[in-house]
Structure 1
């Protein structure tokens, strides 16, 4: 006897997102379809449209959660006790740690380029970057230029992109990550000093 297929009412957004997450991680965005998701869930693809208008909306719901997770990790450090210099280092380290410990998710968040989802994913990425930039600025002694903060972000992104696939986790890249972050924080600190003179 074959298992009963869930109806659109029994099918939840979370069930759909869980399956879609798995498929987006395992396959290219183009290879995932509402039909392939429905097939794995044992329901008609029409049932998915009861919860999501299209694949792009479903994709956005997933990456939005990833960005919220990253934002929360950064926020915890900013609100933690300790001096700002150490917290700034920890923000940068946490970004790298997130990227290397969640490589497939990081790729989906920052590296997938597709006209169908670019506008939506760019919105989530921009909001997350603004959160990152405010956090970095709040931990800096003096006002940094927007370009200074963006350069630090790109340097962190470059580190994750470079080691993604080469290392399986942050732990394997820990020594290099600490050196990279020390360099970035020193660079920003020197910028702050030169601006205050």
Structure 2
């Protein structure tokens, strides 16, 4: 057994978030406690409570962090100098790239379901989806219905879900991802 960390300065929020993220993915929200996270970190559970008031706040912070990273990637794409068609393509491909290069984050963001935290994580998810939907709508060559944008999102999610756990990263399925995104764009612009 490793010695316990004695000061909160040694135990950063980032270290806690990374260890907790792994445990939430591997075991599920219900099976994880602040004590089990502390045990994995080799510290007291009080040291974690110094940074987070409870398990739900810790989980929400992870989800909010991950959605923020995804949103930043989308924002960077929107701010680029490419034409709208290229931006739309890049938005869709970067979503897949994010999902496959950050599989544990993606799983927590889009696949972990628990009534105790759904309402918390839904706020971050809704904000991110609204950003995605508005961007796709504004970059599309034609006026899209809500269901069109939702269908495009589900097609992206389905691609990531299908390959998650079977590939290590986006590069392994890059050609299939490009083909899939082109297919989605044909449907949106059809």
Normalised by the length of structure 1, the TM-score is 0.87
Q: How does 1:39-188 map to 2 (within 5 A)?
A: 39-188=39-188
Residues in 2 aligned to 1:170 and 1:9: alpha-carbon distance in whole angstroms: 35
Q: CA 1:110 to 1:140, structure 2 compared with 1: closer, same or farther past 3 Å?
A: same
Q: Give the SS at the match of 1:80.
A: coil
Using the TM superposition, give the Cα deviation of residue 4 of structure 1 relative to its aligned residue in structure 2, in angstroms: 5.7
CA displacement at 1:64 relative to structure 2: 0.8
Change (3 A) 1:170 1:10: closer
2:21 matched to which residue of 1? 21
Bigger-Rg structure (1/2): 1
Q: What is the number of equivalent residue pairs in this alignment?
A: 189
Unaligned residue ranges in structure 1 (runs of 5+): 191-197
Deviates more, 1:147-156 or 1:46-55: 46-55
Question: Any idea what the Cα deviations from partners look like across 1:46-81, whole Å, max 9, x if unmatched?
Answer: 332232121111011011111111111111111101
Q: CA deviation at 1:10?
A: 6.0
| Distance apart, 1:3 and its partner CA | 4.2
List structure 1 segments (4+ residues) > 6 angstroms apart after TM superposition: none
**Whole-angstrom distance in 2 between the partners of 1:112 and 1:4:** 31
Residue aligned with 1:29, SS: coil
Q: Which segments of 5 or more consecutive residues in structure 2 lack a partner in the other structure?
A: none
Give yes or no for the alignment of 1:5 onto 2:5.
yes
Q: What is the CA-CA distance between 1:135 and the residue it aligns to?
A: 1.2
Alpha-carbon separation, structure 1, partners of 2:9 and 2:99: 36
Counterpart of 1:195 in structure 2 is none
